[in-house]
């Protein structure tokens, strides 16, 4: 059969080579991501043998970045972003400015133009979110103060990069480039036009942030709840991915925000839902798989000959990324009066570049600002910095421990107040999040304690029940169910008590009991009145939800049917003893 199998071949070969080289890297005590990069180099255009489709690999890698940032957002609330703003905002902006100036200085030494220096410096100033998260995960720092600060720092960098991507086409001619690749005409660019471009970009980003933060928490959790009530796990997973990818794509198409940033805000919005932990678990396998493709796609872009053609430029760029950015980051954190330990961690985590660097470099080439040689240097520096970042991060952690051991007084006193304030705010956010999760778990626990029959189903089904139940209350003397009515649902008594009024007497039911199941099982009418004798709280499972849920759990339906049969037999016995009709 003559089918186009480029996508299948690219994915299959990428995964196979990544698995092989990732394992080999682990055996020689290197991070697996080094193996993924090598796999990309092997199947890239610049090495002999099989050549994968780099365009397809790049798009698949973008999916990995989207899913990874979505996962970060699920565990990173808006309050956490606001908590680290005091260090993340000034730190990221100052570092971008200083690193860009250093990059421009290198280009000036090599005889490149001002425009090339600006693009080159910007590309080297922006760290990779994917690499940072992998490093933080390996050291269990994602949820630590250091991890929160580093991620917040990168979010600010992403926002600044979005602004740079919009401004570069408008400034191309002024920097010595041309109009090719620009969105609109670039000639006769003046200060007013640049100001309008900057203002429009800021308005778009702010509008997206407001919509995501204000409207998102009202819509997305509700939508997840509606989907979860269907009980279909595959539909829930599909909806989670649809929300993540849909918001990311919409953010780019409508507001000009990057895919990664849009996906991050999608995760932040979804984190407000009680179902966020389930969404994170469902999307995790895809995050891991597609993040591998990111590193493979980076390796495919690498031309090894650049190491021979221009080794001085590669070494200079790598030195700026690892040494220059580390020193800048360390000094910024230190001068902002934050702890020494945090300075080392941030400096080690940000000593690399990644996805946004490639985008900036590609745009610079298309605008005639950056020579092709510059793009090759950036790619080489990116791959080398990603490769050495894990051991460099470990070295920075070792230096932190030695510094704290040698100068304990300074390490403990410097930045203590800011550290305590930051820790307190993040801790309060964590406690609030854990309290919400604890309340959710208590609801499930109370459900199984009050109604032991539900302990037989798994946790996902218990969560589904909580979503399916409709709360209802009744005051003493209120008629809850009327004889002859159509069976609209099954009632579970969470608190209080009711009387089932039969012709031959009344039966009292208290918390933990249920009624109304017989009409649902038989499809008939109500055969008895049910009156509240206390203030009651009910959990009602409506007819449609009852039928769907019980169909998925035949053992539970059988238990309910057995209890209904026992009640029916008791009614028959009452009828025989009293000569009257029985309960319904």
Please report whether residue 444 resides in a domain. Answer: no
CA distance 98 to 121: 9
pLDDT at 197 (0 to 100) = 67
Write down the pLDDT at residue 186.
42
CA–CA dist 266, 217 (Å, integer): 10
| Inside any domain, residue 457 | no
Q: Greater confidence, 238 or 81?
A: 238
- For 250-265, the pLDDT digits (tens) are 887 887 777 777 887 7
Q: Are residues 164 and 271 in the same domain?
A: yes
Task: Show the domain range for 147.
Answer: 6-303+313-428
The answer on pLDDT for 321 being more than 70 is yes
- In terms of Cβ atoms closer than 10 Å to its own Cβ (0-12, 13-18, 19+), residue 89 is middle
Query: What angle, rounded to 10 degrees, do the helices at 372-406 and 129-138 form?
Result: 30
In this structure, the answer to whether residues 100 and 153 fall within a common structural domain is: yes
Amino acid 582: pLDDT:
36
Q: Compute the mean pLDDT over every residue in the chain, rounded to the nearest whole number.
A: 80
Q: What are the angstrom distances between the C-alpha of 270 and each of 54, 156, 439? A: 32, 20, 18
pLDDT, mean of residues 224-238: 79
Residues 151-175: b if buried by 16+ CB within 10 A, e if exposed: bbbbbbbbbbbbebbbebbbbbbeb
Q: What is the torsion angle, in degrees rounded to the nearest 10, for the CA atoms of residue 394, residue 400, residue 405 and residue 409?
A: -170
Looking at the structure, do residues 404 and 506 belong to the same domain, yes or no?
Answer: no
Given this model, what pLDDT does residue 191 score? 61
Q: Is residue 381 part of a domain?
A: yes
Clarify whether residues 405 and 475 are in a common domain: no
Per mean pLDDT, which of 6-20, 315-329, 333-347 is the most reliable? 315-329
Indicate if the pLDDT at residue 234 is higher than 90: no
Distances (CA, A) of 488 to 3, 397, 464, 478, 495: 53, 63, 19, 17, 21
Sorted by sequence, the CB contacts under 8 Å of residue 464 that are 6+ apart come out as: 228, 229, 231, 549
Alpha helices in 256-354 (DSSP H): 259-270, 276-300, 306-309, 311-319, 325-335, 340-349
In this structure, the number of other CB atoms found within 10 A of the CB of residue 3 comes to: 6
143 plus 253 within the same structural domain: yes
Tell me if residue 493 falls in helix, strand or coil. strand
- Residue 134 or residue 334, greater confidence: 334
Confidence at residue 581, expressed as pLDDT on a 0 to 100 scale? 39
Region 409-413: mean pLDDT is 77
Residues 75 and 186 in one domain: yes
Last residue of a domain, one of 375, 399, 428: 428
Q: Which helix (H) or strand (E) holds 532?
A: strand 529-532
- To which residue do tokens 């005639």 refer? 368
Residue 443 forms part of a structural domain? no
How many residues does the structure list for the chain? 584
402 and 508 together in one domain? no
Q: Which CATH number covers residue 528?
A: 2.60.120.10
C-alpha separations of 111 from 126, 318, 349, 427 in Å: 23, 19, 31, 51
Region 479-500: what's the mean pLDDT?
87
Structure confidence at residue 437 as a pLDDT band (50, 70, 90): low
> Average pLDDT in the 280-302 region?
80
* Contact between 543 and 487 (Cβ < 8 Å): yes
| 137 and 245 fall within a common domain | yes
Strand, helix or coil at 515?
A: strand
pLDDT in tens, 36-61: 888 988 888 888 877 777 777 777 77
pLDDT tier for residue 104 given thresholds of 50, 70 and 90: very high
Distance CA 193, CA 179 (A): 15
| Ramachandran angles phi, psi of 367, nearest 5° | -90, 0
Listed in sequence order, the DSSP H helices in 84-190 are 85-110, 114-125, 129-138, 145-171
* Residue 416, domain member (yes or no): yes
Per residue in 332-360, pLDDT tens? 998 988 888 888 989 999 999 877 788 78
Among 428, 461, 494, residue at a domain's last position? 428
| CATH number of the domain enclosing 96 | 1.20.1530.20
Let me know whether 362 and 247 are in one domain: yes
Higher pLDDT, 303 or 442: 303
* Residue 474 in this model has a pLDDT that exceeds 50: yes
Share of the chain above pLDDT 90, in %: 12
218: pLDDT strictly greater than 90: no
Q: What is the pLDDT of residue 314?
A: 92
- Residue 456 inside a domain? The answer is no
Residues 339 and 481 in one domain: no
Position 423 in a domain? yes
Angle (CA) 527-532-533 rounded to 5° is 125
Mark whether 248 and 339 lie in a shared domain.
yes
Domain boundary among 428, 449, 482: 428
Instruction: Give pLDDT, residue 66.
Output: 81
DSSP secondary structure letters along 434-486:
HHHHHHHHHHHHHHHHH-GGGGGS-HHHHHHHHHH-EEEEE-TT-EEE-TT-B
Within a domain: 114: yes
Rounded mean pLDDT of 495-516?
Answer: 84
User: How large a percentage of the chain has pLDDT more than 70?
Assistant: 89
Residues 157-209 have pLDDT tens digits of 877 887 787 778 777 777 777 754 444 444 445 566 666 766 777 787 778 77
pLDDT (tens digit per residue) in 550-580: 877 787 888 778 777 777 667 666 666 655 4
Instruction: Kindly state whether residues 68 and 135 are assigned to the same domain.
Output: yes
- What local confidence, expressed as pLDDT, does residue 98 receive? 94
- If one counts the domains in the chain, the total is 2
Q: How far apart are CA 296 and CA 54, in angstroms?
A: 9
């Amino acid at each position: 059969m003559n089918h186009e199998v480029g996508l299948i071949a690219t994915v299959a070969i990428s995964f196979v080579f990544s698995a092989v080289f990732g394992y080999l890297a682990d055996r020689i005590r290197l991070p697996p991501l080094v193996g993924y990069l090598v796999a990309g180099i092997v199947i890239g255009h610049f090495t002999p043998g099989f050549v994968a489709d780099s365009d397809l690999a790049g798009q698949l890698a973008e999916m990995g970045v989207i899913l990874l940032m979505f996962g970060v957002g699920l565990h990173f609330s808006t309050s956490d972003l606001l908590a680290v703003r005091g260090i993340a905002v000034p730190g990221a902006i100052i570092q971008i400015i200083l690193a860009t100036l250093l990059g421009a200085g290198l280009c000036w030494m090599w005889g490149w133009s001002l425009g090339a220096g600006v693009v080159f410096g910007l590309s080297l100033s922006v760290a990779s979110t994917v690499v940072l998260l992998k490093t933080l995960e390996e050291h269990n720092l994602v949820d630590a103060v250091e991890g929160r600060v580093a991620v917040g720092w990168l979010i600010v960098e992403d926002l600044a990069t979005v602004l740079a991507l919009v401004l570069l086409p408008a400034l191309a001619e002024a920097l010595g480039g041309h109009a090719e690749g620009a969105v609109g005409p670039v000639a006769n660019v003046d200060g007013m036009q640049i100001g309008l471009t900057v203002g429009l970009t800021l308005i778009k980003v702010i509008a997206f942030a407001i919509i995501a933060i204000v409207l998102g928490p009202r819509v997305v959790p509700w939508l997840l709840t509606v989907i979860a009530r269907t009980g279909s796990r595959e539909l829930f997973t599909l909806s989670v991915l649809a929300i993540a990818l849909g918001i990311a794509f919409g953010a780019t198409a409508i507001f000009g925000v990057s895919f990664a940033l849009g996906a991050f805000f999608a995760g932040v919005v979804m984190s407000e839902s009680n179902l966020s932990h389930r969404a994170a678990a469902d999307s995790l396998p895809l995050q891991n798989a597609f993040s591998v493709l990111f590193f493979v796609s980076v390796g495919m872009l690498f031309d090894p000959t650049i190491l021979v053609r221009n080794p001085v430029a590669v070494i200079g760029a790598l030195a700026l990324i690892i040494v220059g950015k580390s020193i800048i980051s360390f000094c910024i954190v230190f001068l902002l009066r934050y702890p020494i330990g945090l300075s080392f961690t941030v400096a080690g985590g940000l000593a690399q570049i990644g996805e946004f660097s490639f985008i900036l470099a590609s745009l610079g080439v298309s605008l005639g600002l950056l020579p092709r040689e510059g793009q090759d240097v950036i790619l080489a520096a990116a791959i080398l910095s990603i490769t050495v970042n894990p051991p460099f991060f470990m070295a920075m952690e070792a230096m932190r421990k030695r510094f704290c051991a040698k100068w304990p007084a300074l390490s403990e006193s410097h930045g203590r107040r800011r550290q305590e304030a930051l820790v307190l705010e993040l801790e309060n956010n964590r406690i609030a999040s854990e309290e919400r999760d604890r309340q959710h778990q208590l609801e499930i626990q109370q459900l199984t304690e009050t109604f032991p029959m539900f302990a037989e189903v798994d946790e996902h089904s218990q969560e589904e029940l909580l979503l399916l139940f409709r709360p209802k209350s009744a005051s003493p003397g209120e008629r809850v169910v009327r004889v002859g009515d159509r069976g609209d649902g099954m009632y579970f008594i969470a608190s209080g008590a009711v009387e089932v009024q039969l012709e031959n007497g009344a039966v009292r039911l208290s918390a933990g009991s249920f009624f109304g199941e017989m009409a649902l099982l038989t499809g008939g009418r109500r055969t008895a009145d049910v009156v509240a004798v206390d203030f009651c709280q009910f959990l009602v499972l409506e007819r449609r939800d009852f039928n769907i849920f019980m169909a998925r759990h035949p053992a539970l339906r059988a238990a309910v049917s057995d209890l209904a049969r026992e009640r029916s037999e008791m009614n028959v016995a009452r009828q025989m003893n009293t000569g009257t009709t029985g309960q319904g």
